[in-house]
Amino acid sequence: MKKLLFIIPPYFNANDYLDKHRAAVLPAFTIPYGILSMEAYLVKHCAGLGEMRLVDLNVTLKRLVETRTVDSHEAVFNAELQAVLEDFQPDIVGISALFNSSFGYIQRLVKVAKDFDPDILTIAGGGLPSAAYKLMLDTCPDLDAICKGEGELPLKALIDSGDPAEVIASHRAWIDRPSLARGKAPAHDFIADLDDIPPMNCSIIDLDNYNQRGIDKRYTDQPKREMAIHTSRGCPFLCVFCSNPSLHGRDVRFMSVERVVDDAKRMRDTFGMTVLMLEDDHFFHDKERAKRLLRELAKLDIRCEFPNGAAVYAIDDDMAELLAAAGVSAVALAVESGSNHVLNNIIKKPLKKKLIRPAVEALRKYGVRSHVFIVTGLPGELDEHRQETLEMLLENGFDWIHVYLAIPIFGSRLYDICVENGYIEDAGNENFVATKSVIRAPGIDPVKLEAFAYETQLRVNFVENYNIRIGRHDIALHYMKNVVDKYPDHGFGHLYVSQCYAALGDQELALEHAASARTIFDTDDWWKALAIKHGCDYRRIIDAVFGEQPLPPVAGSVKPIVEMASV
């Protein structure tokens, strides 16, 4: 009977978050759904599996960020892994990695395993190894093999075999150096019916470590239990920045509605789930199925969120009403750009701008918060297109916006475009994150683009916040308070939190945050310059909170993109 140890490397560059000279908050990370799915399938169907364990180093990194107690995170990772190896004595060590930013950890982790016992079989899977298998096998000498795509069936074949090397050589989803040298190209081996995967055993993880992914900030400080589900796999689209087809393919496979409801009930009744995170890549691929499922979820007395980005075209009045009835409190809309040219000719996304406002208004009508995801910095995108995006963000009244910088993820068309044209300026995989621009192309200056992304969020979320403009200070407050709780030196955060509290009649808290804002703007030239640049009359807002003069009107002009991106 074989013992299998899964390791999840950090999704992020640890050095970005362990700098003791500046505040940093690690982004929330999701339940390791893929590994839980494989564990459930293997326990039921795999005769050769003795025991499985999971080490998620994102949890370790989160602890280090919160305590800031070490100088060498690698030493901590290695010591933790060494202790698990000594205790568990695995036969197979598998690394599960999603994105480029995890690349640098792979060789270090498998080397620890091989140094402990050279006979351990080291394997890797997930989005990153699936797409970058050639490079990974070339640069990770202690890695034995890689699985392409989903791992349930390939792992079963590997574990149940008396000759793992023969399985790796012959099974279509496995690839190693000898088979690569022979010209083998790995291929997917999918489970066609997702109902064949048994319910996940979430008791093998500490759910408290995965409880902050929610986007509806009304519930940030309230007791809750978030749990994730993927009711489908695959996406038919080929958005330029997405690598999903390399992992799950383009054909969409579903769980039955009955199975999803049974899983949700089990999560609620066994694990105390109160928030179901629907993390499908394309939940609305079959709109009638989506409606049936929402009607059933409405009976469960739970709250739901769509944190991954929902298809705008699918949301009309009927769908919005069903979402609200199902307890959906917030939906992140996968808009990506306010330019039809970028949407249709660069991203290749089947979305027209004219569909955005009706979707947002339908959600607002039924009390569902709307977030929006924007991706900027794609080759071919120009200032005029970013100007269109800025105008769209200000005009449509989203509750909160997120502007991400394009990442050339392995397996995406964007990666191929950037490599073919020499557009990747910073090849360090640790910097392939959504807050850093590593692409330099015509019309794309990484420094100016990072400023544009950050300042667009400041302007739309704070200076010209839609909910403040229409007098819904209670809605704006939840989001802004979340920001200052995470970043106590956020000048705009304190400023507009104070304005919201004042409008809501809580003068004590209004004065407290106004005083913090005044200190920040008086002592930090960077925040002061941002306020001047974006027409934020912070002195009048602070004075108004202190009762010294009337509150100024909310800024409303759309500055040219050149001014927005200036540094």
Instruction: List pLDDT tens digits, range 474-500.
Output: 999 999 999 999 899 999 999 999 999
Q: What's the pLDDT score for residue 291?
A: 97
Please give the Cα distance from 404 to 329 (Å, whole number). 23
Q: Mind listing the pLDDT tens digit for each residue in 372-394?
A: 999 999 999 999 999 999 999 99
First to last CA, the chain: 60
pLDDT at 558 over 70: no
Give yes or no for a contact between 186 and 173, defined as CB atoms under 8 angstroms apart: yes
Q: What's the pLDDT score for residue 22?
A: 53
Q: What's the pLDDT score for residue 96?
A: 97
Please give the Cα distance from 80 to 112 (Å, whole number). 11
Q: How many CB atoms lie within 10 A of CB 178?
A: 12
Provide the percentage of residues in the chain whose pLDDT is more than 70.
95
Please give the Cα distance from 567 to 446 (Å, whole number). 11
Give yes or no for a contact between 28 and 212, defined as CB atoms under 8 angstroms apart: yes
Look at strands 303-310 and 253-254 and give their pairing: unpaired
Q: Is 38 helix (H, G, I), strand (E, B) or coil?
A: helix
Residue 443, amino acid: G
DSSP string spanning 73-140? HHHHHHHHHHHHHHHH--SEEEEE--SGGGHHHHHHHHHHHHHH-TTSEEEEESHHHHHSHHHHHHH-
Q: Mind listing the pLDDT tens digit for each residue in 209-251?
A: 998 888 888 888 889 999 999 999 999 888 999 988 878 888 9
Q: Both tokens of residue 504?
A: 């809501």
Beta partners for 104? none
Please give the Cα distance from 101 to 14 (Å, whole number). 10
DSSP structure class, residue 278: E
Give yes or no for a contact between 36 and 202, defined as CB atoms under 8 angstroms apart: yes
Please give the Cα distance from 374 to 401 (Å, whole number). 8
**Average pLDDT of span 437-457:** 93
Q: What's the pLDDT score for residue 195?
A: 97
Q: Mind listing the pLDDT tens digit for each residue in 490-534?
A: 999 999 999 999 999 999 999 999 999 999 999 999 999 999 999
Provide the percentage of residues in the chain whose pLDDT is more than 90.
81
Q: Mind listing the pLDDT tens digit for each residue in 2-17?
A: 999 999 999 887 777 7
Backbone dihedral region for residue 421 (phi beyond 0: left; psi -120 to 50: alpha; all else: beta): alpha
Q: What's the pLDDT score for residue 566?
A: 40
pLDDT at 197 over 60: yes
Please give the backbone phi and psi of residue 147, each rounded to the nearest 5 degrees, phi first: -100, 130
Give yes or no for a contact between 496 and 465, defined as CB atoms under 8 angstroms apart: yes
Determine the distance from the C-alpha atom of residue 459 to the mean position of all C-alpha atoms in its chain, rounded to a whole number: 22
Output the CA torsion sign for 55, 61, 64, 65: negative
How many Cα atoms within 13 Å fall on the side-chain side of residue 362?
19
